[in-house]
Amino acid sequence: MTKEGKQVTILVVDDEQVHRYMLCSMFREWGWKCVEADDGRTAVEVVEKSDFDAVLMDVRMARMDGMEAFSRIHALKPALPVVIMTAYSSVDDAVEAIKKGAHDYLTKPLNFDRLRLTLTRALDHHQVEEQRQQVQAGENKGHPLRSSIVGDSPPMQELLEMISYVATTEATVLITGESGTGKELVAAALHENSDRHDGPFVKVNCAALADTLLESELFGHEKGAFTGADRRREGKFVQADGGTLFLDEIGETTQAMQVKMLRVLQEHELQRVGGEETIKVDVRILAATNRDLASEVKAGNFREDLYYRLNVVTLAVPPLRERRGDIPLLIDYFVQKFAEKNRRTVESVTPKCMELLVSYGWPGNVRELENAIERGVILMRGEQLSEKSLPLPIQKQEREGEIAAPSSLQEAERLLILQTLEESGGNKSEAARRLGITRKTLQNKLQRYDLGFK
């Protein structure tokens, strides 16, 4: 069932009646409605007349094969996910179909766990795509996005737009990005703008606990399950029932823990440590990592089935160096925040201080900037935030020649544009994106400063 209470409907296209019957029987057990078509031509006709959430289609059929039927269905309804079933001998055809827009392919004989996982991902993608089309068409404007995320650069506008598409769906979301970029804020925005916003938002740092402690933290435990377990305790999955569970640093978990997580994601049920009772949970999962999970899967460090279950929708949070246009906004936000917290009056930020903050590389991203501003506000003398109260690595960049010593804010801007263009290999569109301005604005600034880029 979908979250709106509408039953999921799958179209199964296969010329083998026994195979269709077997698949439809299984789908009904999973709570889905099943419609059958015995050839590609019939499938196209049915799709024209009715709405489906996904199509599962064989390749080899007598009247119009699956490849041609997919092409016609995709032309009719591009957002409708089609999963291709194929024998190993036709894998090349299936891969070609994916290049043309098919959602995925499965080889026969089917692995039913993989089938369910693949179709679940297809259904989630379909829901996200429908939401995106509704937003773009103005049919589902809803409320303005509620978020604590600061930034209006093009990369952040794109991220916030994606959040608005995904938030109101039930899709599992994998949030990626370097440490300190604000992945938890993205998770919070997804929850706050979802239909679950009145439910709990529960956070777990998977890297902070050993495996045995993490298992108890996530699933809970019975009294006497281990030394010190003097009472029953509910885990984070149960605490998040009806709401959202955010699994931070999911890439740090062991494979043994990943197996247990996968069961909850697939079956929506769990058992407490030391218990036998099966507990049903209704939880939306958001996960975050600073690792490249696809590479971790190839290296054998992360389970492929869990990766695909988590990676229904990926939101990539850009590093601060790629959204430099947001740095002044962030500085203003953090100055106000820490001035109020520490009962300080900050009238302004000196030009030299602003120059150093904008020019710095920020390997620790927004978290490092936040810490730098908090330190500066606490140590500042007078009512101006100056470079003298910044952390030494930021002050040292000028002395070590990492940046020039511009005599004005205009000179600082000129040097920043030059540096960003060099980092972007002279690509003005990429440089504008990193600076948080339009390409036309960058072109105007190049002419103003006579930088010679055509």
Query: Is the predicted pLDDT of residue 451 greater than 70, yes or no?
Result: no
330-357 mean pLDDT: 91
From 395, 388, 389, 386, select the one nearest 347 (Cα to Cα): 386
State yes or no: pLDDT of 287 exceeds 70: yes
Query: pTM for the full model?
Result: 0.70
Residues 156-179 have pLDDT tens digits of 988 998 898 899 888 899 999 999
Greater confidence, 63 or 255?
A: 255
Q: Same topology for domains 9-135 and 154-318, yes or no?
A: yes
221 pLDDT band (50/70/90 cuts)? Answer: confident
How sure is the predictor about 18, in pLDDT bands with cuts at 50, 70 and 90? very high
Is residue 373 scored above 60 in pLDDT?
yes
Split at pLDDT 50, 70, 90, the class of 315 is very high
Higher pLDDT, 92 or 280: 280
Please determine, for residue 73, whether its predicted confidence score (pLDDT) is greater than 90.
yes
- Highest mean pLDDT, choosing among 273-287, 412-426, 434-448: 273-287
Structure confidence at residue 406 as a pLDDT band (50, 70, 90): very low
The CATH architecture to which 320-405 belongs is Orthogonal Bundle (1.10)
The stretch 358-362 carries a mean pLDDT of 90
- The mean pLDDT of the chain is 86
pLDDT of residue 405: 44
CATH ID of 9-135, from 1.10.340.30, 3.40.640.10, 3.40.50.2300, 3.90.1150.10: 3.40.50.2300
Query: Any idea where the domains of the chain sit in the sequence?
Result: 9-135, 154-318, 320-405, 409-454
Fold of the CATH domain 154-318: Rossmann fold (3.40.50)
Distance CA 307, CA 262 (A): 9
Backbone angles phi, psi at 168, to 5 degrees: -85, 0
**Mean of pLDDT values over 91-112:** 81
pLDDT at 100: 81
Confidence category of residue 1, pLDDT binned at 50, 70, 90: very low
Tell me what the mean pLDDT of segment 211-227 comes to.
85
Is residue 103 pLDDT above 50, yes or no?
A: yes
- Give yes or no for a contact between 415 and 398, defined as CB atoms under 8 angstroms apart: no
Percentage of residues in the chain having pLDDT higher than 70: 90
**Two structure tokens written together for 266:** 């697939």
* Per-position b or e across 103-117, b if 16+ CB within 10 A of its CB: bbbbbeebeeeebeb
- Percentage of residues in the chain having pLDDT higher than 90: 44
What pLDDT, on a 0 to 100 scale, did the predictor assign at position 134?
A: 63
Q: Pick from 286, 249, 54: which is nearest to 169 by CA?
A: 286
Mean per-residue pLDDT, 403-432: 70
Q: Does the pLDDT of residue 306 top 50, yes or no?
A: yes
CATH code, residues 409-454: 1.10.10.60
Q: What is the SS3 string spanning the chain?
A: CCCCCCCCEEEEECCCHHHHHHHHHHHHHCCCEEEEECCHHHHHHHHHHCCCCEEEEECCCCCCCHHHHHHHHHHHCCCCCEEEEECHHHHHHHHHHHHCCCCEEEECCCCHHHHHHHHHHHHHHHHHHHHHHHHHHCCCCCCCCCCCCCCCCHHHHHHHHHHHHHCCCCCCEEEECCCCCCHHHHHHHHHHCCCCCCCCEEEEECCCCCHHHHHHHHHEECCCCCCCCCCCEECHHHHCCCCEEEEECHHHCCHHHHHHHHHHHHHCEECCECCCCCEECCCEEEEEECCCHHHHHHCCCCCHHHHHHHCCEEEECCCHHHCHHHHHHHHHHHHHHHHHHCCCCCCEECHHHHHHHHHCCCCCHHHHHHHHHHHHHHHCCCCEECHHHCCHHHHHHHHCCCCCCCCCHHHHHHHHHHHHHHHCCCCHHHHHHHHCCCHHHHHHHHHHCCCCCC
Q: What is the pLDDT of residue 417?
A: 82
When mean pLDDT is compared over 61-75, 116-130, 187-201, 266-280, the highest value belongs to: 187-201
pLDDT band of residue 118 (cuts 50, 70, 90) is: confident
Residue 291 has pLDDT above 50, yes or no: yes
